[in-house]
């Protein structure tokens, strides 16, 4: 039976099996060849050929050597009959034999298909000791190994997923040892967070428990080493070592993450502390500056009520200015840390405008309020609105060079907003200054440094925006001064 030679020849177990699985990537049943004939058909043909060719040769030889036999007819017919019977039984036998020989191969192919589909638990049973039986055995062993490693991998994945970024590196290391022990069936396993070079490799003594190790690699860094022992009977192959090293690198990543997380946490805590310290500091500054100003202001008011004096008015106005500047500075720090929560209430803009103007005590500057709100109310935080109005009116007086200041209030029903425009009749804003006017600590180029903090417009715009509004510099109109507009959410009037 030399025809059993093609690839199916079972001499060397592993490569053959690999060939078989490699040839069936699409999962077709049976082993096919280039001609399209199955292995069984080819084997049948080969066996038939092997049985019939000598027989036919014998018949032909007889006919040639004994020419009379062909004439007698009987011998010829007998010969023909024998040939037909031999051929028929030969084909039948050959088919049965081929079927018997290829059955284990088919079983193996089907098992490999099952294995590749994920079913590793059904072993192939091929009786006997021949090459096919050995092939089936190695498949069964491979399937068992695969299944075991799958199980290990499953446990490893579970172990990795159960981690939390809140765990400390030591905790992760401790748990990783326990997890490795149960996942790989080790006698003992530890993760040591030290330089792996410090832990000498153990020698392997036959018959004793098998030492294994894997380095915890996180990137290029070696964070530690996983060491442990396996039962002496346990096989430990390249694939097992690969899996262990994969696990070790996952543990390394988890430890690295935990360290980073802990660092971020502690930095966060520090920032919160700093923030609280800053709040305390600002609170102290505010308290210590505003408390004496409160007394000065209140005494000036009280004395002024008993004995009216212009100088007391100046004291009151200047104290007010000073306390507003303190407040403005505090507002800037609040804006920076995002800790500004406006409390929007409905308010008619005319009243706070008039109050802010009175607080400025600029009696020598002509002031006109043109209220065309037609019942529309703005929605704003009254305290913050007061800061904005005061800063804008103060600017109008200062940079308008004490020319007339006009405030115009009008609704914008389309956008459901209310607009308030403050204009002076001074020189206006120079072109190069327009773009940088709203930046922090910016003043117009020709404005002297002792005029205010340079924060007024920046704070005002940010406050308006915090109230869902805006502050804009209106385009320059020839012959007119600077003109700023506040836009705030508006509410149309309602009939009572």
Partner 1 sequence: MLSGGLGGPAGHDAPRILIVDDDPNLLVLLADQLRADGYEIQTARDGEEALRRLRTAWPDLLIIDMMMPRMDGLSLAREIKGRADLPIIVLSAIDAGDSKADLLEEVAEDYVTKPYHYPELRARINRVLRRLGDKVPRQSLVLGPDLTLDLHRREATVGSEIVQLTPTESRLLYALAANLGQTVTTDTLLARGWAETEDADPSYVWVTMRRLRQKVEVDPNRPVHVQTVRGVGYRLVATDPGPGEPARG
List interacting residues with partner 1 (CB under 8 A): 279, 282-284, 286-287, 289-291, 293-299, 301-302, 319-320, 323, 327, 330-331, 334, 339-341, 343-348, 351, 375, 377, 379, 382-383, 491, 493-496
Cβ neighbours of 398 (radius 10 Å): 17
Compute the radius of gyration of the chain from its Cα atoms.
Answer: 49
Q: Considering the complex, state which of residue 84 and residue 298 has its C-beta at the smaller distance from partner 1.
A: 298
Sheet holding 188-192, edge to edge: 188-192, 221-230, 210-218
Return all residues near 483 (Cβ < 8 A) that are at least 6 apart: 421, 422, 423, 424, 473, 474, 477
Residue count of the chain, please give it. 496
Q: Considering the complex, state which of residue 16 and residue 387 has its C-beta at the smaller distance from partner 1.
A: 387
Q: Considering the complex, state which of residue 138 and residue 286 has its C-beta at the smaller distance from partner 1.
A: 286
CB of 362 to partner 1, least distance (A): 18
Q: Considering the complex, state which of residue 85 and residue 298 has its C-beta at the smaller distance from partner 1.
A: 298
CB of 356 to partner 1, least distance (A): 12
CB of 361 to partner 1, least distance (A): 13
CB of 406 to partner 1, least distance (A): 21
Q: Considering the complex, state which of residue 209 and residue 331 has its C-beta at the smaller distance from partner 1.
A: 331
CB of 389 to partner 1, least distance (A): 14
CB of 414 to partner 1, least distance (A): 19
Q: Considering the complex, state which of residue 166 and residue 465 has its C-beta at the smaller distance from partner 1.
A: 465
CB of 353 to partner 1, least distance (A): 11
**Rounded (10°) CA dihedral 242, 248, 251, 257:** -90
CB < 8 Å & 24+ apart, contacts of 258-262: 258/165, 258/167, 258/168, 258/169, 258/172, 259/169, 261/165, 261/166, 262/168, 262/169
Q: Considering the complex, state which of residue 245 and residue 491 has its C-beta at the smaller distance from partner 1.
A: 491
Q: Considering the complex, state which of residue 446 and residue 495 has its C-beta at the smaller distance from partner 1.
A: 495
CB of 309 to partner 1, least distance (A): 17
CB of 490 to partner 1, least distance (A): 10
Q: Considering the complex, state which of residue 123 and residue 304 has its C-beta at the smaller distance from partner 1.
A: 304
CB of 273 to partner 1, least distance (A): 14
The encoded tokens of residue 88 equal: 């028929």
Q: Considering the complex, state which of residue 315 and residue 404 has its C-beta at the smaller distance from partner 1.
A: 315
């Amino acid at each position: 039976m030399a025809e059993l030679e093609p690839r199916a020849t079972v001499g060397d177990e592993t490569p053959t099996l690999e060939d078989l699985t490699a040839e069936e990537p699409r999962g077709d049943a049976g082993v096919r060849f280039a001609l399209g004939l199955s292995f069984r058909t080819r084997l049948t043909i080969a066996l038939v050929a092997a049985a019939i060719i000598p027989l036919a040769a014998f018949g032909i030889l007889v006919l040639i050597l004994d020419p009379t036999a062909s004439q007698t007819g009987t011998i010829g017919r007998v010969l023909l009959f024998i040939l037909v019977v031999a051929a028929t039984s030969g084909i039948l036998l050959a088919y049965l034999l081929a079927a018997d020989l290829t059955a284990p191969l088919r079983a193996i192919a089907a098992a490999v298909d099952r294995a590749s589909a994920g079913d590793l638990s059904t072993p192939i049973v091929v009786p006997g000791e021949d090459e096919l039986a050995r092939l089936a055995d190695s498949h069964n062993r491979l399937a068992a190994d695969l299944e075991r490693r799958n199980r290990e991998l499953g446990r490893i994945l579970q172990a990795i997923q159960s981690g939390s970024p809140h765990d400390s590196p030591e905790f992760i290391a401790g748990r990783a040892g326990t997890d490795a022990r149960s996942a790989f069936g080790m006698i003992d396993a530890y993760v040591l967070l030290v330089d792996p070079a410090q832990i000498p490799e153990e020698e392997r003594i036959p018959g004793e428990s098998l030492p294994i190790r894997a380095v915890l690699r996180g990137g290029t860094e070696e964070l530690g080493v996983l060491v442990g022992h396996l039962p002496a009977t346990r096989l430990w192959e390249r694939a097992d070592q690969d899996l262990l090293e994969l696990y070790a690198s996952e543990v390394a990543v988890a430890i690295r993450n935990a360290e980073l997380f802990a660092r971020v946490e502690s930095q966060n805590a520090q920032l919160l502390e700093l923030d609280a310290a800053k709040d305390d500091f600002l609170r102290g500054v505010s308290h210590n500056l505003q408390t004496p100003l409160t007394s000065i202001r209140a005494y000036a008011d009280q004395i002024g009520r008993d004995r009216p004096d212009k100088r007391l008015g100046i004291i009151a106005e200047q104290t007010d200015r000073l306390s507003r500047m303190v407040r403005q500075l505090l507002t800037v720090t609040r804006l920076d840390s995002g800790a500004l929560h406006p409390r929007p209430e409905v308010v008619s803009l005319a009243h706070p405008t008039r109050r802010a103007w009175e607080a400025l005590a600029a009696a020598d500057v002509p002031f006109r309020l043109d209220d065309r709100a037609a019942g529309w109310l703005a929605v704003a935080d009254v305290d913050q609105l007061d800061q904005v109005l005061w800063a804008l009116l103060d600017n109008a007086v200062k940079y308008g060079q004490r020319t007339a200041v006009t405030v115009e209030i009008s609704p914008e029903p389309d956008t459901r907003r209310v607009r308030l425009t403050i204009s002076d009749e001074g020189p206006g804003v120079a072109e190069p200054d327009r773009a940088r006017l709203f930046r922090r600590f910016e003043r117009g180029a020709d404005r002297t440094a002792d005029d205010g903090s340079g924060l007024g417009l920046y704070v005002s715009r940010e406050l308006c925006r915090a109230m869902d509004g805006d502050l804009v510099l209106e385009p320059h109109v020839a012959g007119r001064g600077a003109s700023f507009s506040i836009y705030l959410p508006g509410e149309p009037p309602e009939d009572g």
